[in-house]
Every structure is written in C-alpha cells, then in structure tokens.
Structure 1
Amino acid sequence: MIILGINAYHPDASVALFNDGVLVWAGEEERYSRIKHASGFPEMALRNCFKNTQTAPANVDAIAISKNPRANMLRKIFYSITTAIDPKLCINRIAAFKKISSIADVYRKTLNIPPPTKLPKVYYLEHHQAHIASSFFLSGLSRAAFLSLDGLGDFSSTMWGVGEGNSLKAFDRVYFPHSAGLFYTAATQFLGFLKFGDEYKVMGLAAYGKPTLTKMLQKMYRLKPKGQYELNLDYFLHPKGKAKIRWEGGVPDQDILYSAEWIKTFGEPRKPEAPITQREKDLAASLQVVLEDIYFHILNHLYMVTHEDNLCLAGGVAFNSVANGKITRNTPFRNIYIPPAAGDAGTAVGAAAYITHAIYNKPRKFVMDHAYFGSDTSREGIITALKTKSIVYEEIPTDAVLLKKTAHAIADGKVVGWFQGKMEFGPRALGNRSILADPRRHDMKDILNKRIKHREVFRPFAPAVLEERAAEFFEMDCESSPFMLKVFSVKPEKKYLLPAITHVDGTARVQTVSQKTNLFFWRLKMDMLILDHYLIERNR
C-alpha cells in the first residue's frame, strides 16, 4: 500500500511517501525552489518524489493532507461571532479553505493526470495530529506521552495526550489565540529578526544575555491548572486578525504580532540593521526562561496524568534544542524522541503515517533513526553540474583515499563542502549536505560566519561526534542525539579542545554519528580521530 503525504498552502511545504508502512522518501519544496520555508503547493518536491522512487501516480492508494479546514469549526465560528475580527481575515480564511479543498485538482494538474483518471482518496488530517503522528508512529515506542507545541495550525497551538500501538489519544489542546509559539515569534520580531523562521537566532542569542527581563515577560502570559496556559492578549495583534501570514510567490511573510504594549514595556523595537545591544541579549535570555516555564509546565502535567517515561515531541517549539536538553532535569520524562523534521515540513510524514497506521491499521515496523530520505544524485549528475558551472575538479579513485584527503584538509584548516548520499529531511545538515571544519581552531567560528555563511557573528556551530565517543566530550542525558535537537554542556576539561563549537555559555548542539545509519560519514569521523591522535603524538 502506497500513501502520499502532503503539507501544502502552509510554510515548509513538503511531500512524503510510505510504501507498505515504510517511509521511502521525504523532501521539502525549499530544497528545489531555493525559497526558504517555501509555502504554496509543493510541486517540485512532488515531482522529485515520484521520479526518485520510480513510483507511478496511478499506484498511490491514498493522499494524506496535513491540514483540515473543517477541524474545530464550531470554535472558529464562535470566536468569529464573539470577537471583532478584521473582515479581511475572514476573507483570507475562506480563500484558504477553497485552496486546500481543491488540492486534488492541483495534484492532477501538477502530474498531468488526464481528467477521466480516478484519483486516490484524499484524507484531511488535523495539523497537530499530523505533528504527533510524525513523532510517535516513527519512534519505535509502543507507548508514549506526546506533546505538539507550535505557532498555530487548524485553530490550535498545542495538543497533548498518549500514543499506544496504532492509536493517538488527545487529552487536551490550547486553542487560538493562545500560543507559546506566537509569543516567541512576537519577541523574535521585536528583537529585529523579521524573516519567517528567525526564532532559532534568538535561541542562540540568549546565551549572551542574562534573564533580567523575565518578570516583564511573565506579564504577557499566565499558567493555568491542568497544563493549560493563556496569553495576555493586550500584548498581541493576532487575536483580532490584525497579523496575517501571506505567501506570495511561495515566500512566507508574517505581519508584526506584538502590540504597542511591548513598546511601552521595553522601548522601541530593534531595527534589523541596528547593532545588538545588551537589552536585546537580556530579552532573548529572558524569553528562553519563560518559554521553558510554559514548556515544562505542560510536560509536568502530562507526566502526572500518564506516568510514562517515554515522550514524543513535535511542532516548531520542539526545535528549541536548549529547552529539549533540559527536559530530563526539569520533568520526570526519561526517554525522549523528536523527529528530524519536527516543524511543519514533518506534517507530510505524519499525515501519511497516520493514514497508514491509524486508518488502515497497518503494523508499525519502521523507525525513523536517520534523516536521509531526500533526493540523491549520480556520479554523472555531479560531473555534469561541475562542468556546467566550469568548476575545476579532481576525481578521487577510492573511498579510502577520499576520506583521508578530506580529513587532512579539515586538519589543515580548510572548510569542506561535504556532499554524499540522499538529502536530509528537516532543517539540519547531518552529514550528507554539510559544511565541515576543524572544531579545535579558535578562529573557525568567525571564519564560517563571516566568510562563508555571511550571518550574525553570535550564531553557534554544532559538532558532529562519533556516537560511541560522545559521552567523553559532552554531558549528555542519552546515548545518541542523531538529529542535532538537544543542547548539552561541553565537559569542562574538553572546552579548550573544542573552541569552534563551544557556545559562549559552554554548551553545544550535538549530533551523534552512527555507524549503522551513516557509515561513510562515520568513517570520515574515524579518519579524523586517527589523524588527530597522530598529530598529538607527533607534536609532543
């Protein structure tokens, strides 16, 4: 049975394909359109999915859409009636409803399927159900508590409950307009980071500040019994529809979410081109504290009602790797699974997984323990690309020589573009489409940020470390961290060895490299380790 999952007309548009309960392909539209967080319909990803898997559209048994415009409809109607909503928002929502409802026609047009041909059945799945399915059904856990926490999807921002076998049982939700994700986005905008998806910059900036503004931010929300929370809506514009999101030409653009109350509290917002002052650093640090306050409040309630050691997370807030690294210290949960595409791109996987297991009751036999599900290329394809761009190249005769040559280049201070195998699914470069450099060099972080990435100097870089050696360098609460979704402290005695990846607060966002899931990258890390030992001995 072949199930196709699609996230469309929403940021991070994506496609996923399951065959007999196994994920065989997953990719985001942005990887092909080159538009960051591309929205709209994922035409290019869809075509590449069928091309790469050699799947004929006629063989697809069902299509799963990670959006259900009919979900929570009564709440939407009641809110519209009782709140003075901007009429433009209602018009916008009606247009969105029509778009998502006509997705079968867009699918047919994209793949040039003639009208008489019958299309597969289309299922519409609630946004947070798709989030959770992307985590629990692919975790390998037979039972676990779950939490989905993000900005907004199908009129809710938060959902928690328990998964068991082929079923998901939601215990409760937090509905629009209350949202920890939108709270974080409003603060991100106030700090001068206005592009869609800039929240991760604020997480990195937080380490440079002190949480001196926490009490001011705490006026903007309230924790309630049973894991609930609510925003102080005086501080936000979205409740009355004054802050919309658009995606003209596939580019997502979010209106300003914070109200004038933020300016009364903190002064004028930072302009994007302005220097970052101590105020911005302290506000970022304080924001991290209050996000964790909400996060752990929900999680501790969730444990209290489930008593599960296992936890599956999804939603955009699950990308907050700083908070994720603190869960076992601040809640009773012990075993945490977060998929590589925890954000909206992952809902395509989740929608297909839900239909496969919860609707068709197919057995769960697949575990997502790596992220390499995107497009691959051939030797011929690489050579053609190099020649097209007139790039001088050398073809290395064997893998062993290539690995040693790469290890020596990194040790010599070179920056290496590493391209192999299938593309990663999700926002992290995890050893197949990566920039590699020597973490021992004090100047490497600035070299990468200024000369290559052309980004803010405060942004940290992440280490990739052999899974079996990770505990020697980092204070980890787990054996593996394959998706770079947890931040851990660098061991005090190792910090001087790893200046390029040790953040200002002594932490690092760790990726563990497994021999099982990425043998070639693992072999490169082994060659680098052997070379490192040799250089140390030689220089004694």
Structure 2
Amino acid sequence: MAWVLGVAASHNGAACLLRDGEIVVALQEERVTREKRAFVDAGRPSAAIEACLRYAGISAGDLGMAVGCSPDSPDAADLSRSAQLDLRAHGVPSRVVSHHLGHAAGAFATAGFDDATVLVIDGMGSRLADLDGRERAAARLLPDWDPADLCEHASIYRAVDRELVVVEKHVAPLVRILRWFERNPDEGMPPFESLGGIFNSVATRVFGQFFEAGKVMGLAPCGRVNLPAERFFEIVDETFRFHGDALDAFDGDALWPHNPARWQNLAASAQAALERGIAHLVRRARTLTSSPNLCYAGGVALNGIANEQIVARGGFERVFIMPAAEDSGTAIGAAYLGAWELGDRHPPRAFAKDSLGPVYSAERVQSAIAREPRVRESDEDVLDLLCAGRIIGWFSAGSELGPRALGQRSILCDPRSPSVKRRLNAEIKRREAYRPFAPLLLREHAAEWFEGDALDTPFMLHIRSFREAQRERVPAVVHVDGTGRPQTISDETHPRLCALLRRFYARTGVPMLLNTSFNVAGEPIVETPEDAIASLLSCGLDAVMLEQTLVVKR
C-alpha cells in the first residue's frame, strides 16, 4: 500500500506518515523548530514534514497521496502549493479536507471501533463557504448572519466502515472569533462565539495569554460558581446563542495573581458553563445517531473534568478520546482520509500508546552525550535518586504527538514530597503555584487510589477523585479539590517505566510517580537526545534517563 502524508496546517502544526493502515511516524512542528505552537502552512517549508520523510527513508515522490487540513483558508492546507514537496512534478495527488472532518477521522481511525458517533468541539474550524455541500447542509445557521461569514465550532458525525457522514454542525460568526487574536486584555475581554472560545477568552482576560485553556481548567476547582451558564450562552431551538458581552464587568481588572478570588470564581463559572454546553452536545449526538460508541476530539476534548462527566453520564457504552485531541491530531485524520480514498481496508486498531515520533538510535544517544563536555554517564540507580528527592528527566522511544507527556518525554519525581514539587515549579516549570501535577501509576493499582469505575486512563484525559484515605500520602499530585489527572500504564505499553514503578512501590508502598512534561518554561517538550541534554543543563533537573543511560551534570 502506498505511503500517505497527512498535514495539520495550524498553530499546532504537525505531519503524519501512514502505510498499510499503520502510523509510521507523526511529529509536531514545534518539537523540531523549538518554537511553541509553530504554525505549518503549505506555502512554507515544514520541519515536521522533512523530519517524517527522513525518518521513513522516503521522498515526496514515494507518496501515494498528500492530504492537508487547516482551520484557516484551504490554501494553508493545499499541499500542491508546497515547493518543499513539489507534488505535481512527482505526479502525487493532493487533497484538502475540512478541519472538523480531520479531527473526526483521526479519532475514529485510532479508536478501534467498527462504528461510532464522533463528536468534535473546538474554538473554530473551517468556514462554511469552504465545506462541501453535505457539511454545509448539516449546519444549524444563525439568524441575521450570512452563511459565508460563519465557521464550524462543533460537529457530530456518524462513522461506519471508514466513512464519516456529517449529522449536525454548529456554527459561529467568523469575524467575531477572529477578534480573539487581537489579544489585548487592556481593551476588555475578547468576545467568544464557541465553547472553545469561552476558555480562550477567559484565559486572555485572567492571564493576558491566549491558548491557555489548561490554566483556566486548573484554576476552576479553586473557586465557586457565581455566574450561571446563561450568562455565557443560551440554547435556543437546539442552537447555541453566545453572549459575547457577558464578561464586560471584568474589563480593566488587573491580571492574575491580582484579585485571585474574582478570577477563581470566573474560572469555576466558565468550567461549569463549558460542562453544560458539552453535555448538551453529547445528548444531541446520542439522540441523532444509533452507535453506542463515542469518539471525541477537538481542543475542548482536553478538558479532563468535562470528560469524566461524558463517561459517567453521556449515555454511551464506550468512549474514546483522541490523545492528540488538539489540532496536531488532524494530521492523523488527514492521512487516514487519504488512505481510505486510496482503498485501504486494514481493520481499525485501538490506539494503545501515544509514542509516534521518530525513535533515536543508541548511537545517536551516545553521540549526543559524547559531544557535550558538561555531562557524563552515571552508574547511579535512578530509583535511589527518586527516593532521595531528585528530579529526573525520562526520555524513551518516540515522542508523544499530543500535548500530554505520557512516559516518553516526561519529568519524574517523588509524589510524596511537597518540597520536591515546590523545587520542580521554582527551578524547572515555573508554573502558577495552584496548577496540579499528574500522577503516573501502575494500572493494577488504580482502584486502590482512585474512586469510580473504568479506571484505565492511559492518555491522562480524565480527572479522577483520589480515595480520601490516600490523599495525604501523595500531596504533590493531589489538587485542591482532592482530584488528580492520572495516567495508568502497563507492561504492554511501558515495560521499562513499569519496572521502575514496581521497584518504587516495593521500597515506598506507593505505586506512582509525579509526571510532568519534559520541558522548561516557555519551550516545547524535548524531542531529540540533544534537546534532553540541553534541558538538563539549563534548569534544575538532577539527571536524565536517556533510554538506557543515566546522564548527570559534571
């Protein structure tokens, strides 16, 4: 079967190579350029595309198809424009697919379901004018708005046998959404016209930063709901009506950390409103489709608090949330859409592990160590270091495509120690003190530590309540409301990490470690062995486990 290239032409730009129904490699642009949220545009060379082709040992002429996906204009995703690929000269066909279709295909292709309902929710997607006739016909239009001025923000699909059929699409005024990008909190909160836009708008107002929905989610449990959901939006005839002026009362307020209670309550209110909006769309999806399986993607799908409500009360028997739920995952969806068009009929396979980046050889690791005179190999036991309160970088196999560190590019430390958490924040992450860190634990021990059912959470996409008796044992990973965002691992997916956790458990009685992404403040997650060593030298890390080799500073 031919190679297929999928590209996410977006602020979370990425590339994916597919062959015989399998992802060979997928990589975010920012991991290569070292520029956070690096944009990919078909009219410019892409470092991620180059790295993927090089890793696979192929050139553009070996492709059977190239497919681009973008929330912006189709030109941004039109790979026939790429001088880097020069597809026309090679006779390689290209396609452009809509943004939500890319999200939906990526989720369905990696869920392992034969059929599914697919829900996509994000801040903004493709313009209605750029969609095909079926997708435009499914849109719930807004009164007083020209359809040409609208874009998608939530979509429901029915997926059966590699075919995705749009069922319903919710839209928003594009001109108002684009005002988010003005990013000037001194002139008031930008309006929001989508569920994803609520959090982006609140993040801009509270922190003066765009694309920081995770900060709002982490702040929400610290406050109380004092604004009803109706202040953010109403649902009229099954259609969202957003109130873009709802938060004018916050204009002129000093940014966080000033007025903490005021911002905490706003975050809590925004979270409650988001959950209500998602619940409506999930019920709508269940009503309009017949499948008991739900696939879920789009940036809003990274909200672990809301995800837990979907699992518990959504009415679906099985729920799969795409690990690369944000725009980078559309590279996977684009690649699968191309493969299906070419006739690929490999059965769907459940996504077991987000480790899709290039794998670096032992020779590359040793060369990186040898070239840097400020580091050396160590024969110390990483377990001894962790138990002594040291902070360790963990570099293993291919990197994660999505935004979560899932044991391939992680920083690990002892979850029992509040002082280690404080040092991690002060010397490495430099995050807001309220933001929680995640527990990484052995799957077989999840029920002993967390409440509820369905405790296998391999992608860190759910917020779970710790059992009350366990909370004081691991204060570094328990949030203010007694919850955590766990990642469960098994020998099938993480044999070396499981072996370390079992040794830590045997010594401490705790089958988990604190896990956060392997990067310093303001930088993307490390990609290469050289990146990992540079990170070790630039911050308060005590050591890095580079595959099988422990590296420390001289």
TM-score by length of 1: 0.81
Indicate yes or no: 2:201 matched with 1:186. Answer: yes
Pair 383,361 (structure 1): closer, same or farther in 2 beyond 3 Å: closer
The 1:341–1:276 alpha-carbon spacing in structure 2 relative to 1, beyond 3 Å, is farther
Q: Which residue number in structure 2 is paired with residue 31 of structure 1?
A: 31
Contact 2:71 2:125 survives alignment (8 Å): no
| Cα pair 2:155 2:166 within 8 Å, conserved | yes
Task: Tell me which of 334, 338, 346 is aligned to 1:355.
Answer: 338
Report if the CA contact (8 A) 2:7-2:67 is conserved.
Answer: yes
The answer on whether the counterparts of 2:416 and 2:475 sit within 8 Å (CA) in structure 1 is yes
Q: Is 1:223 aligned with 2:235?
A: yes
Write the distance in 1 (CA, Å) between the matches of 2:206 and 2:40.
28
TM-score (norm 2): 0.79
Q: CA deviation at 1:358?
A: 5.5
How far 1:375 moved relative to its partner? 2.0
Matched, 1:325 2:308: yes
Give me the whole-angstrom Cα distance separating, in 1, the residues matched to 2:420 and 2:310: 31
CA distance in 1, matches of 2:468, 2:509: 20
How far the C-alpha of 1:436 sits from its partner, in A, is 0.2
Equivalent residue, structure 1, for 2:120: 148
Helix, strand or coil at the partner of 2:201? helix
Residue identity matched to 1:14? A
**Contact 2:8–2:77 (CA<8 Å) still a contact in 1?**
no
CA 1:191–1:308 in 2, change beyond 3 Å: closer, same or farther?
same
Q: Do the aligned residues in 2 keep the contact of 1:7 with 1:348 (CA within 8 Å)?
A: yes
Alpha-carbon shift at residue 123 of structure 1 (Å): 0.9
Task: Quickly say closer, same or farther: Cα 1:276–1:36, change in 2 above 3 A.
Answer: farther
- SS of alignment partner, residue 202 of structure 1: helix
1:65–1:125 CA contact under 8 A, matched in 2: yes
Aligned to 1:93: none
How far residue 490 of structure 1 moved from its aligned partner, in angstroms, is: 0.5
- Mapped pair 1:51 → 2:54: yes
- Confirm whether residue 288 of structure 1 aligns to residue 257 of structure 2: no
- Aligned AA (1:191): V
In 2, are the aligned partners of 1:450 and 1:457 still within 8 Å (CA)? no
| Equivalent of residue 170 in structure 1, options 155, 166, 171 | 166
Closer, same or farther: CA 218–487 of 1 in aligned 2, 3 Å: same
**Shift of residue 503, structure 1, vs aligned partner:** 0.4
User: Residue 312 of structure 1 is aligned with which of 289, 292, 295?
Assistant: 295
User: Does the Cα contact within 8 Å between 1:68 and 1:124 map onto a contact in 2?
Assistant: no
Matching residue's letter, 1:222: E
AA at the equivalent of 1:158: A
Q: Which runs of 5+ in 2 are unaligned?
A: 127-150, 174-192, 512-554
The structural deviation recorded for 1:533 is 4.0
From 60, 64, 68, the counterpart of 1:61? 64
- Which residue of structure 1 lines up, in the alignment, with residue 526 of structure 2? none
Q: CA deviation at 1:330?
A: 3.1
User: Is 2:202 aligned against 1:201?
Assistant: no
Please name the residue that 2:367 is paired with: 384
One-letter identity of the residue aligned with 1:5:
G
Deviations 1:392-428 (A, max 9, x none): 21255xxxxx7xx112211111111111111111111
Please tell me the residue identity of whatever aligns with 2:353. H
Deviations 1:314-356, CA, capped at 9 Å, x for gaps: 0000000111012233322232101210000000001111222
CA contact (8 A) 1:441 1:499 kept: yes
Q: Structure 1 pair 333/269, CA: closer, same or farther in 2 (3 Å)?
A: farther
Partners in 2 of 1:348 and 1:231 — Cα distance? Answer: 30
Contact (CA 8 Å) 1:407, 1:531: kept in 2 or not? no
Please point out which of 454, 469, 472 is paired with 1:478: 454
How many equivalent residue pairs? 464
Matched, 1:266 2:240: no
User: 1:465 Cα shift?
Assistant: 0.7
Q: For 2:154 and 2:509, how far apart are their aligned partners in 1?
A: 48
Per-residue deviation, 1:310: 1.7
What letter corresponds to residue 378 of structure 1 in structure 2?
Answer: S
Distance in 1 (CA, whole Å) between partners of 2:317 and 2:453 is 8
Aligned match of 2:140? none
Q: Equivalent residue of 1:15, what SS?
A: strand
Q: Is the 8 A contact 1:438 1:444 kept in 2?
A: yes
Superimposed CA distance per residue, residues 157-200 of structure 1 (whole angstroms, 9 cap, x where no aligned partner): 11013212211121101112241111221111111241x32110
2:459 counterpart SS class: coil
Shift of 1:312: 0.6
SS in 1 for 2:375: coil
- In the alignment, is the contact (CA less than 8 A) between 2:465 and 2:484 conserved in 1? yes
Conservation of the 8 A alpha-carbon contact between 1:192 and 1:269: no
Percent identity (aligned): 30
Does 2:308 match 1:334?
no
- Which of 153, 157, 174 lines up with 1:161 in the alignment? 157
Name the residue aligned to 2:522. none
Structure 1 CA distance, aligned partners of 2:325 and 2:260?
31
Partner of 2:6: 5
Contact 1:417 1:436 in 2 (8 A): yes
Aligned-pair RMSD on alpha carbons?
A: 2.2
1:365–1:158 Cα change, 3 Å: closer
What whole-Å deviation, never above 9, does each CA across 1:141-160 have from its counterpart, x for those lacking one? 11221110001110211101
Change (3 A) 1:142 1:221: same
- 1:125: which partner in 2? 97
**Matched residues in 1 for 2:305 and 2:384: separation?**
33
